[in-house]
Chains A and B, each alone.
Chain A
Amino acid sequence: MSAPHRGQPATGATGAPPARSAAGASTTDQLQRALDRISRVRGVRGSMWVAAEDGIPVAQLLMEGVKGKAVAALAASLARKVSGAAAATGAGRVRFVQMEAAGGTLLVAPAAQDLLIVALADSRVNIGLVRLEMIRAAEAALA
């Protein structure tokens, strides 16, 4: 699969027509393509773009049974709290958050345009590979 196109900044979920890059790919296409790449990693149960401030899903690709709304809200809350902790300790900008639990792993990477890219994976996932795809998506999709 080809790398996501570099396009115009996202117009946001305001109902405005999606922005298109010179190559013709809309912002929605770019976001969806990034989710495709992440979700192809074995063990990933879903991935989504989330509005960091609001905790609302912007685009998502989830397996059946994954509660997207809940994951988005809680991932944004987690990211905000971790960013607060990082700021308080002088650690600087958070690049990646990994939360391992008994039933799986939640991964969050802040991206441009006040978005987060979030992945939900089970225990057999190759974290390094998902992390690589997420950071690549965060850096590239909305650049």
Chain B
Amino acid sequence: MSTTSVVEAWTEGPLVRYVGQASARLVLVMTPSGQVLAQHGFARAVDLMPAAALGAAIMASSGALAQQLGEQAFGALFHAGVHHGIHLAQCATPRGTLIVLTVFGRETSIGLVELFFEEFAAALKTAAPVDQVREPVLAKDFEADLNRSLTSLFRR
């Protein structure tokens, strides 16, 4: 069964709509440090944690590469596989920059994912609370934050 679960409630509406519109199989909304705010389609924490870490790492390394080339950042990354494609992009919200990892199959296309990602990014921007500034992630809090997020996402 596909599930959607969120750590921060304001992400749920936009995420559910995006998953439906883009026919995405898996979606992960996270901060640039890999903290998960919302997910769709992951059944186990053990699958979600490496996906979040790798997604954040890919965005960080591509951002560094962009800077080397004199670009501020790359807009989105797309990898096409035989059975799955991944779309990785970031969006600016009042709660800070978020990274969205989308995994999709052959029932949809990168064109549709791109199209609906733009709407999703705009919806996140609108829904994000403006009066709460995200605290910087400190190494000493990281594990506790991660465990809290996973508990919230998987109710365990």
Contacts and interface: CB of A to CB of B under 8 A. Distances in A.
B109 interface: yes
A13 interface: no
A5 B80 CA distance: 32
B115 A54 contact: no
A37 B132 CA distance: 55
Interface residues of A, number: 14
Q: How large is the interface on B (under 10, 10 to 19, 20 to 34, 35 or more residues)?
A: under 10
B contact patch SS = helix
A66 interface: no
Contacts of A93: none
B110 interface: yes
Nearest to A75: B111
Contacts of B109: 53-56, 73, 76-77, 80
Contacts of A51: 111
Nearest to A67: B115
B108 interface: yes
Nearest to A50: B111
A70 interface: yes
8 contacts: A55-B111, A56-B109, A56-B110, A69-B111, A70-B115, A73-B112, A76-B112, A77-B108
Interface of B: 80, 108-112, 114-115
